[in-house]
Structures are given as structure tokens and as C-alpha cells.
Structure 1
Amino acid sequence: MKSATPPGTEPGQTSRVRRAPLAWALIALSLSMLLPSLSISIANVGLPDMAVAFDAAFNEVQWVVIAYLLAITTLIVGAGRLGDLAGRRRLLLSGITVFTIATLLCALAPDLPFLIAARALQGAGAACMMALTMAFVGETVPKDRTGSVMGLLGTMSAIGTALGPSLGGVLITIFGWRAIFLIGVPLGLVTLALTMRALPCSSPARSSAGRRFDIAGTALLALTLGAYALAMTIGGTSFGPLAIGSLIASGTGLALFVLVESRVSAPLLTLSMFRDPVLAAGLTTSALVSTVMMTTLVVGPFHLARALGLDPAFVGLVMSAGPAVSALTGVPAGRATDRYGADTMVIAGLGGVIGGTVVLSVMPTAAGVIGYVLPLVATTAGYALFQAANNTAVMKDVPAHRRGLVSGMLNLSRNLGLITGASVMGTVFAVAAGTSDVTAAASAEVARGTHRTFAVAALLVTFGLAVALALRMRARLSNSARAR
């Protein structure tokens, strides 16, 4: 009598699921989601000390953050696809190992170029971790609990983002900037051990056709995404010749990528994938909502300091409300998704973001801190609900052999949204304020910039809601036609 095939096993594969409690698997996945987020936010707080330590200008040490972000953006889709072909557990273990070694190298960096190179290597490991963590959900939990686990992973990402500045500040004050990287080494080792113990191990596809990896397409997509990310980050909120050149290079790379993918026998991405209305809606709305959520991080510090007159310590405390709300609402959002359905909760989440940004676009400065924090809480809670529901909607019916690829695409859409938001929404804010130097703008100018920027944000999410409704309606009509 043949033994039952464990859930999540790809056709033509063998699977050896380690009989560890589900809790250990969830802890391993949670740490794999937390560490990449923590490594972004904790590095930001150390930039001033690194500038002093290496006698470097601030625009030079900013590459400590940019290199990490570029590596993730460039490699995340290819990492997801490679995990599908070579074995997700194997590649996740490799990614955690690379991440941990690179983290140690960051802590030991003798100069700034070495540190930037180590951060790029750390980003490569983080790309594997981010791309494959959500893909493992289908192999470790029942379908009726997918939303809860997606909510948990969203919570861990938010905790990592929220914990970075405060933890980094304490570590730098006591031990110096190298401690912000050293703290990640034992966490990486624990994550590696738990992943080896608790996550299912599956062999790659046996047929040579099923194991083909589109090297040309992956390289072109990596160069295209890298050029786009560089264009959005190289000049901050200004858009100079290098940024324009990078954007042109990105557009050229995209055209070449589409051409190559239409001709190879085993493409990395096929245009037919985007005919799936659920996937198309999920990727589009994820990018738009992430762009808008970056607005709160771009506009918030200026509005609180310049328009409301708060001191830096209080600004940091108020700014932490967003990540804190996201961390607290992630798991309940996932449970609501399991109970009421992903489509319903996607619409509810988008509605929450629209409502919060609309209020922020009209709230007078006389309302003070409360007038800013309450709609910010509504916006962030809506975002947490949207993330859990959207990830569940996209991932729940993905074939096992494409989970890594689709998970990578979801993470990529979010990352591109954040990068675009940092540049585009920052520019919108400066233009709306009517000054080239927002740091020296008057209170009324900053308030005007805040209101108009959040009005643009509300329009973007409204467009995302319209896209989601239209594509999901199309999916229902298509399913009805098939049923007949």
C-alpha cells in the first residue's frame, strides 16, 4: 500500500516531510520574514555613525542601504523560480547561510566599499528568504489556515521594520554601529537550524525539461529591475541625468526581456500568466498600495516636525504607530481572511487605506497629533488587512511548481512600490509644498504639501480598488462561463 503524498508535493517529485510540530515550522518562516525587514530598518539608524567611522559623506554611506535594496529587487524573482526548480528548502537554506555570513562580514568591514559589497551579498541572501517564505505556506499549513499564516508573516515583517530603529539605537549607543550587524548573526544561525529541522524537504523535478532555468531572461530581468531601482534611488527626490539614463536603460531592458521570453522554450515569465485576473489584480494593487504606504514614511516626519512642531523624539514615537498597528493587526487580519474570504477582505483593506488617506488629505493642523495619528492607524490597519488577504488570494491556488516564482513576484511588486513611493511621492510632496527645500519650509507650506500628497495617495488606491473590482468581476464571469 502506497503512502499518502504530503501536501505541497510537486508532480514528479519525492518529498520527505520532517515530522516536526507545525509551530517550529511557523517560527522558522517567521524568522525568515523578520530578518530581511529588520536588516533594512536597523541599518538606516546607523548611517550617521558609519559616515563618521569611515570619514565618508552621507550620500556615500547611503549606498549601505541602496546596495541591499538593489540586490533584493534585482534577484527576488529569479530566486523564487530557482527555488521551484532546484528545491525550495535547499535554496532557502542557502539563502539563510549567505545572509548570515554576509551579516558577519558587514560587522567586520574594514572600509566602506567592503561594507557596501557585503550588504549587496546580504541582500542576495535576503532575496531568497523573502521569495521562498510565502511559497512554503502551501506546504506547511492547511488551506483553511492560509490567511492566518499570511497575516502572521505580515506581522513579522512589520515587527522587523518597527524594531529596527529602536533596537539599532540602543545597540549603537552601547556597543557602536558594528553591533547592529552582529546581532543578526545568532538570529541567522537559529533560523538556519529551525529551517533544517522543521520545513519539508522536496527533491527537484526529475525531467530535464522541468529543470531548465531561463538564464538569459533572468539576467535581463535582473538588469532591468536593477536599473529601475537605481533610477528611483540614486538622486533621492531629485531626478538628474544618471536617474534618467537608468530609467531609459530599464525601459530598454524590459523590451528586450519581453522579446527573449517570447522565444525561449522555458521562459522565466510568460505573458499568459498575467491573463490570470487574480494574479494581475494582486500584483497591481500590491504595487500601488505599497507606493502609497511609503507616503506615510516620506511625509510623516516633515509634517510632524515642521507643521505640528514636535521635537525629534516625539516624531519618532508617533512614526512608530504605523508599524505597531501593522504588527498588532496582522494575525487578526489573517483570521478574518480565512473566515470571510480573501476577496471580501481585499476590498475592505483597500477601503480602509482610502478612508485613512482621504482624512489625512483634509485634516487641519489644528487637530494636532491625534488628528494625524487616528487616520494613520486606519490607513495602516487597512494595509495590514489588504496584505494578508491579497497574499492569500494570489497564493492559495498557485500550482506547487510555481509557488516560489509567484511569491517572488508578490514581493517584487511590494518592493517596487516602496522604491517608487520613496522617489515619486517625495517629489509630489516637494512640488505640492511649493519649495525646493522642504527642511526649511514654513508650517503652512508643509501642511499644504501633506494634504495634496495624501490626496494623490487616495486617488492611487482608488484606482487600485477599481482594478481589483474589475479583474475579480472578470474572473467570476469566466468561472461562470466555464461552469455552463
Structure 2
Amino acid sequence: MLLSSFGASSANVALPTLQRAFGASFAAVQWIVLAYLLAATAAAVGAGRLGDAIGRRRVLLAGIALFAAASGACAVAPTLPLLVAARALQGLGAAVMLALGMALAAGQLQGRTGRAMGLLGSMSAVGTALGPALGGLLLAGPGWRAVFAAMLPGAVLAFALVRRLPDDDAVRSGGPFDVTGLLLLVGALLAFALAATGTGARWWYAISALCTAAFMRTEARTRTPLVPLALLRDRVTATGFATSALTMALMMTTMLVGPFYLGRALGLGAGGVGLALAVGPLVAALAGVPSGRLVDRHGARRTGMAGLAAMALGAGLVAVAPRAAGVTGWIAPLAVLTAGYALFQAANNTAVLEAAGIDRRGVAAGLLNLARQLGLIGGSALLGAVFAAGAPDPAHAAAADVAEATQATFALAVLLPLLGLGAAWRQRAQ
């Protein structure tokens, strides 16, 4: 979990250096990040289903090996296209590690699933925070190739640790792998991502809708579907997937808007912005394990609803905080919001994986990761557009305009956890 999060966040800090090293445009080097995220998104469900079919430990070992090989290829890549291709392979390995790491933890720690999910959430936050910090040090020292090479020792250690886990032959759900369903799902996800991040959005959305319709039709007719439709019909799992996407869209808003608000509206320097943004991952890392214990003690549904309420409160405080409150007006609400997110994630992951059953935990974990990735993409597109409407050029806009745009964005973002809270309350009532 830590490796996959580190791989996603460490490359961001190297983009300016890579742009100069390869003499490329910023749009071109952005694909170093996009290739990783798109590959991880497209492979999330397929990785989980493959683990359910032929053994989660076996597929997880293969995913770690692919991640290690791709990291080495990134470190020695002589051209930008080869680096982007290696990053896509790295993203495939990360998808396997995310889905099957979560599924294996849930299976090995019966009765302590909440604690396991809380600890994995902490590790994800540590990886996200460690990426820019360690990546910056490596850039200042050995250079950008060391950023990717630094992942190799961790991958070797992870491989050695997973080899010591007991095999899970007994929980395999056999049958032919649904290749057609996988290709249609990948097509739908890539088209959606391209619609949200590029030009020609109308056509990409249409292609995504067509692929989604064909995918649902295929899954209904296939004997061994990639995504068992029963998972999507179940109230607990369906609510969990949808709410996971909504909450991740809100978290994406903090990452997207935060640097502009702190730098432009509050006038912080680069160092101050970095420290203020580090509060979120730090709180998430510290809150993960206690959140898991609360889930095991009080139940997933109750703690999940408490987490959603805290997220709504945190976002609402950002929306009403005056600019005169300074950095405290950002950090204090962000701490509340992030702690709520850690509590919700531990509860939601526990509820979904337990409801999915032992033979479908891999695909359920893959769907959870897919929902989070879709939330990242959707939050960036929708709430990014709201922010841009108020501050079309936030890097040069007046401080007051950036502050107003931030408040308007978070006023809308409050609705996301409230929608999830309403869905959870309705499920409880039924």
C-alpha cells in the first residue's frame, strides 16, 4: 500500500526536472503522472478478479515483481515515451498491490478487519506524504532517476514478506477469465478519464457510455463475469462504492485548490504551502489505526456515518472561514476533514469486504480502488471547473478572487459527504 501511494505521489515533484531533462512541453511530461493513474484505474477490477480466480497471493507476487521491474525501467529510461510506457506498467503493478493487498489483509485477519483497513489507510497516507518529501531530497542529490530507483528496495522487501504469507488456494473461484468484460471496462474508464482531462469531452463521454452499456450487457450474460452484478445490487456494497467515489472527489478538491488558496490568497511561499498541505497526509497517517479500532469496537455503519459527518463539517468550515483567519482557517478544517476521511475509509472498506464474502474480496477491493480513482478524476473535472469559474487564472488572480472561488468550491463540495450520509442513513433505515 505504501509503495503504490509513493509511486503515485513521488513523480509529481520531479515533473519540472523531467521537463528540462527531456526538453519536452509540460503537457507531454504530465503523461508521466497520467499514465500511472490511468493504468492503475483501468486494471483495478481486473487485478482483483484475477486474484479471486487463480489465487490472490500468487497474483500479488506477480504484481510486485512487475512494479519492481517497471521501477527499474523508469530509472534507466533514455527517452520520454519509454518513461511513460514504463510508468504505465508501474501503474498496472500498483493496481494489483492495492486490490490484493487489501483483500489478503481482510482474509488473514478475521475479526480485526477494521484495524487492518485502518493500518492500510495509514500506510497509504504515509506513502502519499513521503513521495514529495523523499522525491525532493533525491532530486537535489542523485537526480530524477534515483526517484524511481528508490522504489526497488521497497518492492524487494514487499515481495519477500508476501512470500511468507500462507497460500489461499482454498478461496479461489475458478472459471474462464472474462477478457471481453475487461476490455470493455478498460475502454469505458479510459474514455471517461480522457473526457475529464482532455479535449473532445463530448465524444469521449459518448464512447464511455457506449462501452459501459456493452459491459453491463456482457456481464449479465457471462457465466464468470469480471464484476458479479450481485455486488452492484447489494445495498451495502453499492452504497460503499458510490460513497467512496464521492469522498475521494472531496479529497481531490483539497489537493487541487489548496496550493492556489495558500499561495495566492494567503501569500505563503513554496515552503509554507508544502508544510500546510502536509497536514492532511499527517493527520490521515495518525488517524488510520485509531479509526480501525473504532470500527471493530462500534461497527462499520456507525463509524462510517460519523466519518462522513466530520468530512461535511470540515468542508463547511473551509467554505465559511474568512481569509483573515489565515493558515489556521485552512489547517484546522483540513484536520477535521482528513480525520473524518480516515474514519470513513476504514469503516467503508471493512463493510464492503465483509459483505462481498470470502470468494469475492479481490474484485470488491478492486472496485473500491476503482471508485476512488473515478472520484479523483470526477472531482478534478467537476469541482476544478467550479474553482476555475471563479478564478480563471488562479496563479495570477487577485487574492480576494481566489479566496471567494475556494469558498464557493467547498460550499458545493459539502454536498458530496452529505449525499453519502443520506445514502448510508437510507440503507440503515431499510
TM-score bracket relative to the smaller structure: over 0.9
Distance 2:140 2:38 in 1: 29
Which among 224, 233, 238 is matched to residue 266 of structure 1? 224
Residue type matched to 1:94 in 2? A
TM-superposed CA distance for 1:203, in Å, is 2.5
- Residue of structure 1 in register with 2:151 after alignment: 184
TM-superposed CA distance for 1:202, in Å, is 2.4
- Residue of structure 2 in register with 1:216 after alignment: 180
- Residue of structure 1 in register with 2:163 after alignment: 196
Distance 1:297 1:126 in 2: 21
- Residue of structure 2 in register with 1:429 after alignment: 387
Does the 8 Å CA contact 1:96/1:188 hold for their aligned counterparts? Answer: yes
Which among 233, 243, 248 is matched to residue 285 of structure 1? 243
Does the 8 Å CA contact 1:134/1:407 hold for their aligned counterparts? Answer: yes
* 1:156 aligns to 2:120 (yes or no): no
Would the alpha carbon gap of residues 231 and 466 (structure 1) be closer, same or farther in structure 2, given more than 3 Å must change? same
- Residue of structure 2 in register with 1:396 after alignment: 354
Alignment of 1:1-400 (within 5 A): 33-143=1-111, 145-197=112-164, 199-203=165-169, 210-234=174-198, 240-241=199-200, 243-400=201-358
Residue type matched to 1:221 in 2? L
Residue type matched to 2:11 in 1? A
TM-superposed CA distance for 1:369, in Å, is 0.7
Does the 8 Å CA contact 1:281/1:472 hold for their aligned counterparts? Answer: no
Distance 1:328 1:273 in 2: 32
Alignment of 1:439-450 (within 5 A): 439-450=395-406
SS for the counterpart of 2:144 is coil
Distance 2:320 2:184 in 1: 44
Does the 8 Å CA contact 2:383/2:409 hold for their aligned counterparts? Answer: yes
1:113-147 Cα offsets, whole Å, 9 max, x none, are 0000000011111111111011112332131x111
SS for the counterpart of 2:326 is helix
Residue type matched to 1:385 in 2? L
Does the 8 Å CA contact 2:175/2:224 hold for their aligned counterparts? Answer: no
Which among 412, 423, 426 is matched to residue 467 of structure 1? 423
Distance 1:151 1:206 in 2: 26
Does the 8 Å CA contact 1:139/1:200 hold for their aligned counterparts? Answer: no
**TM norm structure 2:** 0.98
1:372-430 Cα offsets, whole Å, 9 max, x none, are 11011000000000001111111124322111000100111111101211222111111
TM-superposed CA distance for 1:305, in Å, is 1.0
Distance 2:413 2:393 in 1: 22
SS for the counterpart of 2:395 is helix
Distance 1:115 1:157 in 2: 24
Residue type matched to 1:396 in 2? E
Instruction: Please give the root-mean-square deviation of Cα atoms over the aligned residues, in Å.
Output: 1.3
Distance 1:186 1:357 in 2: 38
SS for the counterpart of 1:313 is helix
- Gapped regions of structure 2 (runs ≥ 5): none
Does the 8 Å CA contact 2:237/2:355 hold for their aligned counterparts? Answer: no
Distance 2:330 2:24 in 1: 36
Distance 2:393 2:172 in 1: 59
Distance 1:196 1:35 in 2: 17
Would the alpha carbon gap of residues 410 and 294 (structure 1) be closer, same or farther in structure 2, given more than 3 Å must change? same
Residue type matched to 2:253 in 1? T
SS for the counterpart of 1:310 is coil
TM-superposed CA distance for 1:204, in Å, is 6.9
Count of aligned positions? 430
SS for the counterpart of 2:24 is coil
TM-superposed CA distance for 1:271, in Å, is 3.1
- Gapped regions of structure 1 (runs ≥ 5): 1-32, 235-239, 475-484
Does the 8 Å CA contact 2:122/2:287 hold for their aligned counterparts? Answer: yes
Distance 1:307 1:224 in 2: 38
Residue type matched to 2:203 in 1? G
Distance 1:206 1:221 in 2: 23
Residue type matched to 1:291 in 2? A
- Residue of structure 2 in register with 1:14 after alignment: none
Residue type matched to 2:251 in 1? M
Whose radius of gyration is greater, 1 or 2? Answer: 1
Does the 8 Å CA contact 1:204/1:211 hold for their aligned counterparts? Answer: no
Distance 1:204 1:66 in 2: 37
The share of aligned pairs that are identical, in percent, is 51
Distance 1:62 1:269 in 2: 31
